[in-house]
Amino acid sequence: MTTNDHYDRILSLRALRSYRDDPLPDALIERLLETARWTGSSKNLQNWSFIVVDGDQKERLATCGDFTIPLSAAPVAFALVEESAGYEFDTGRVAQNVMLAADALGLASCPITLHREADARAILGLPEGARCRYAVALGYPADDAAPRNFGGRKPMGDVAYRNRHGESW
């Protein structure tokens, strides 16, 4: 892939919510885990862990959020755990790395919010101080997989400024 191809993949990455039933081979899951593990974190603390969930456990996890249909639909998901003293920003970086890697490997993915953290903690058996607010659903894209149209993006002028908030870029 050329530099421009990489750029285009980043720009075109979308959440995809329908998947084939086929399970992901462990070797492929491990490649995705590797991209999570190698994500940069604040002070390189790596205060995180990644729980691969499938089957009934994935269904249990799906009860913890309000928009978890993709989690039920996907063959597998990574529950992204902020260990004690972890940062949500770092977790976000992991999610994006995993999604970009999934895309590079021909997979579809969707971030999932687990609104009921206490439930997620119990289901995942998290230790004291750890939390899991997000998961990433993963699978081979269904033939009809298409991004949901939430209306594109805000215009550049509404989000990018020069030097001070509100000053035109």
Which secondary-structure segment (H or E) carries 79?
A: strand 76-82
In 25-156, at which residue ranges do the beta strands (DSSP E only) sit?
48-53, 76-82, 108-113, 131-139
- Here's the x/- map for ligand FMN, 108-137, by CB under 6 A: it reads as --xxxx------------------------
For ligand FMN, the binding residues in 1-60 under the rule CB under 6 A are 14-15, 17
- Applying CB under 6 A, among 19, 50, 65, 131 the residue interacting with ligand FMN is 65
Distance, in Å, from the CA atom of 94 to the CA atom of 149, rounded to the nearest integer, reads: 24
| Residue 154: half-sphere exposure toward Cβ, Cα within 13 Å | 5
Q: Which is nearer to ligand FMN, 27 or 159 (CB)?
A: 159
- Applying CB under 6 A, among 8, 67, 122, 127 the residue interacting with ligand FMN is 67
- Applying CB under 6 A, among 2, 44, 150, 166 the residue interacting with ligand FMN is 150
Neighbours of 39 (CB within 10 A): 17
Chain centre distance of CA 9: 16
- Here's the x/- map for ligand FMN, 94-113, by CB under 6 A: it reads as ----------------xxxx
Q: Which is nearer to ligand FMN, 106 or 152 (CB)?
A: 152
Residue 21 Cβ vs ligand FMN, minimum distance, rounded to whole Å: 19
Radius of gyration for the alpha carbons in the chain, expressed in angstroms and rounded: 17
Closest CA to 90 of 131, 123, 52, 30: 131
Interface with ligand FMN (CB under 6 A): 14-15, 17, 65, 67, 70, 110-113, 147, 150
